C-alpha cells in the first residue's frame, strides 16, 4: 500500500495479527536479518487526543530495557502514519492462555506472575508506573516468556514514585479503589492492586470484581469483598488479600511482594528485577554489521550507542535476538555503506554460533521464517534498505530496460497465479491443525451443519444478533460493547476416522471478560440443544 511505502525496503508486511481502537498490528519480516517482527501501525489523523499517549509510549520504550518488557526495535514516521517496530510474541496474549485452560494451576501461575513482578519492579526502580496492568497487556513469546506491553498510560512522576498522580486511567475491572473515587494516588500502589486482580484471574479464570453495570462494579471494588474459590491454597489467598487491600497504605509493597513466601515457593528465591545491561554492545554482532556495511567497528559502535531506534538500531537488536536463540548471525541484503558510496558486489557474511564464517558471492537473501525457519506466508521478492542505499546484486548489472521487462513479466505471472488459485469456499468448513487449534473447542459431533445450527439457536436464545458467512457467525453485544466470531471448523483425528467438528473462537473488539463469559454460555447452550 502507498501509505506504507516507507516500510517496503526494510520490512515485508504479512498478515494483520491485532487491531485496536486507533492502531493495527501486522506481522512482518525484517529484510536484512530475516527476523519476524510486529509492527504497530497508527494513523496520526485518527489519533486525536491519543497522540500524547503514543509519544509517551515511544519515550518510555526507548528508555526501558528488560527481558520481560516487549522490546522496541525501530520508530518510523511519515506525514500520516507512525510505525513502531516491536518484538514479535508468537503465543499472543496471556488472556488467551487463561481462556484456553479456563484457569491455571499454582505452578504455572507462579511462573508467569514472577516474570510480571520482575518487569513491574524494574519499571518502578527506574521511576515509571504502568497504570494499565491486565492479561491483555501481557504477551507470551515462543518459549512462554512474559513480555509486558502497552505503555500508553504509563507515567514517570517528576518527584519520583512518592509523588502523587491525579489522572484517573486504566481498565475499570483492574482499577484500585483510590482511582474509582477520584483521589490523588501513588502509581506504584495502583500497580500492586492491578497485579492482585491479575493474579486472581490467573488462578481462578475470572475477575474478583465484575459486573456489567459500572456503578455496581465500582461499589464492589470499594467494598473489597470478593469470592475465594475453595481450590485456592492458603498462601495464594493470603497474597491476593495483601494486594487487594482497599486502603493503599495497608497494601503490600513491591519489596515485600518480591520476597513473599508464595512467590518464592519451590526454592525459586527472591524475584530479580534487574535484567543486566541489555544496552551493552555485543562485539560479535557489531563485527558482522561492520563487515557487511564496510564500516569500522568503532564508527558503528559510536552510532549504535546513540540509540536512535532507526534502521541501524533495529538491525543490531535483531542480530542480538538471533544470537540469543542460538541462530547464525547473518545479514543477507546487499546495502551500500553509508561511508563508502561506491558500488560493490554482494557478499553474504554468516557467522555460526561456533564462530565459523561463511562467505558467498551473489547469494540470495535468506529469510527467517520467524520462530523456526518456516514462514507462515509466501515470500515476496524484497529490496535493499532505503536508509542504506542498495548496490549491485551481481558484479555485472542488469540493464534498466531489461529489469523493467523482467519486472513486468513477474507481475503478470503473479496476477495469473492469483487468478488460478482457488478461493476458499464458504460452503465447506475449514480444516484446522497445529497452532490454529489453540482457541478451538471440540465437539462430539461429526456434522458441521448441525453444530452451526446449534450455535445460531444458542445466540438467538441469548438475544445476540449475528451475521453468517459460510460457517462463520459474527455476533455483537451492545453492553458492554463486544464483537466476536465463532467459526465451525474440522479437527483431524486418527486415520480412517472422519474429523471432529470444532468451534474456533475469536474476539474482534470489546471487553475480554464479557467475551469469555459469552463464549462459555453460548457453547454450553449449543451443547445442550
In what helix (H) or strand (E) does residue 404 lie, and over which residues does it extend? helix 400-420
3-state secondary structure (DSSP) of residue 514: helix
Handedness of CA 11, 139, 144, 326 (dihedral sign): positive
**Cα separation of the two ends of the chain:** 47
Distance between CA 51 and CA 401 in Å, rounded?
Answer: 45
Nearest to 206 by CA among 180, 157, 240, 158: 240
Kindly name the residue from 9, 132, 191, 511 that is annotated as catalytic: 132
| Inter-residue contact 47 to 54 (CB < 8 Å) | yes
| Inter-residue contact 368 to 33 (CB < 8 Å) | yes
Residue 81, phi-psi category: left (phi > 0), alpha (psi -120 to 50), beta (remainder): beta
DSSP string, 88-144: --TT-BHHHHHHHHSS--HHHHHHHHHHHHHHHHHHHHTT-B-S--SGGGEEE-TT-
Whether 132 is catalytic is yes
Strand pairing category for 482-491 and 430-431: parallel
Distance between CA 193 and CA 214 in Å, rounded?
Answer: 18
The residues carrying an active-site annotation are 132
Amino acid at each position: 500500500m502507498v501509505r506504507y511505502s516507507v516500510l517496503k525496503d526494510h520490512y515485508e508486511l504479512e498478515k494483520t495479527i491485532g487491531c485496536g481502537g486507533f492502531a493495527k498490528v501486522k506481522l512482518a519480516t525484517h529484510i536484512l536479518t530475516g527476523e519476524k517482527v510486529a509492527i504497530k501501525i497508527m494513523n496520526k489523523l485518527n489519533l486525536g487526543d491519543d497522540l500524547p499517549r503514543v509519544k509517551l509510549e515511544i519515550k518510555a520504550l526507548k528508555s526501558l530495557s528488560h527481558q520481560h518488557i516487549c522490546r522496541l526495535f525501530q520508530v518510523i514516521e511519515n506525514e500520516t502514519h507512525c510505525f513502531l517496530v516491536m518484538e514479535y510474541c508468537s503465543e499472543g496474549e496471556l488472556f488467551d492462555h487463561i481462556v484456553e485452560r479456563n484457569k491455571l494451576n499454582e505452578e504455572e501461575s507462579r511462573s508467569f506472575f514472577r516474570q510480571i513482578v520482575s518487569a513491574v519492579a524494574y519499571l518502578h526502580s527506574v521511576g515509571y508506573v504502568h497504570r494499565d496492568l491486565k492479561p491483555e497487556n501481557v504477551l507470551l513469546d515462543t518459549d512462554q516468556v512474559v513480555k509486558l506491553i502497552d505503555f500508553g498510560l504509563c507515567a514517570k512522576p517528576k518527584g519520583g514514585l512518592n509523588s502523587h498522580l491525579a489522572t484517573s486511567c486504566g481498565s475499570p475491572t483492574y482499577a484500585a479503589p483510590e482511582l474509582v473515587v477520584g483521589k490523588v494516588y501513588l502509581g506504584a500502589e495502583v500497580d500492586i492492586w492491578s497485579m492482585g486482580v491479575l493474579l486472581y484471574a490467573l488462578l481462578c479464570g475470572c475477575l474478583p470484581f465484575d459486573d456489567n453495570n459500572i456503578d455496581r462494579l465500582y461499589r464492589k471494588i470499594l467494598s473489597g469483598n470478593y469470592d475465594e474459590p475453595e481450590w485456592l491454597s492458603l498462601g495464594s489467598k493470603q497474597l491476593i488479600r495483601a494486594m487487594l487491600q482497599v486502603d493503599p497504605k495497608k497494601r503490600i509493597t513491591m519489596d515485600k511482594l518480591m520476597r513473599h513466601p508464595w512467590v518464592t515457593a519451590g526454592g525459586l528465591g527472591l524475584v530479580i528485577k534487574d535484567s543486566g545491561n541489555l544496552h551493552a554492545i555485543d562485539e560479535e554482532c557489531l563485527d558482522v554489521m561492520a563487515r557487511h556495511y564496510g564500516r569500522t567497528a568503532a564508527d558503528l559502535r559510536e552510532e549504535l550507542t546513540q540509540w536512535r531506534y532507526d534502521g541501524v538500531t533495529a538491525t543490531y537488536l535483531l542480530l542480538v535476538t538471533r544470537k540469543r536463540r542460538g541462530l547464525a548471525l547473518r545479514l543477507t541484503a546487499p546495502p551500500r555503506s553509508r561511508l563508502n558510496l561506491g558500488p560493490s558486489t554482494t557478499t553474504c557474511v554468516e557467522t555460526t554460533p561456533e564462530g565459523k564464517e561463511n562467505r558467498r558471492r551473489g547469494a540470495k537473501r535468506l529469510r527467517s521464517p520467524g520462530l523456526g525457519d518456516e514462514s507462515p506466508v509466501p515470500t515476496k521478492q524484497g529490496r535493499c534498505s532505503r536508509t542504506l542505499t542498495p548496490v549491485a546484486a551481481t558484479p555485472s548489472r542488469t540493464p534498466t530496460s531489461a529489469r523493467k521487462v523482467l519486472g513486468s513479466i513477474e507481475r503478470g505471472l503473479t496476477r495469473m497465479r492469483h487468478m488460478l488459485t482457488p478461493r476458499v469456499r464458504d460452503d465447506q468448513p475449514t480444516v484446522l491443525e497445529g497452532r490454529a487449534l489453540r482457541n478451538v473447542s471440540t465437539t462430539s459431533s461429526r456434522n458441521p451443519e448441525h453444530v452451526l445450527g446449534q450455535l445460531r439457536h444458542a445466540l438467538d436464545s441469548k438475544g445476540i444478533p449475528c451475521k453468517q458467512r459460510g460457517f462463520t457467525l459474527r455476533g455483537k453485544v451492545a453492553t458492554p460493547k463486544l464483537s466476536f466470531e465463532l467459526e465451525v471448523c474440522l479437527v483431524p483425528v486418527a486415520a480412517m476416522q472422519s474429523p471432529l467438528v470444532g468451534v474456533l473462537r475469536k474476539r474482534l473488539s470489546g471487553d475480554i471478560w464479557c467475551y469469555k463469559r459469552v463464549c462459555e454460555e453460548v457453547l454450553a447452550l449449543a451443547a445442550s440443544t
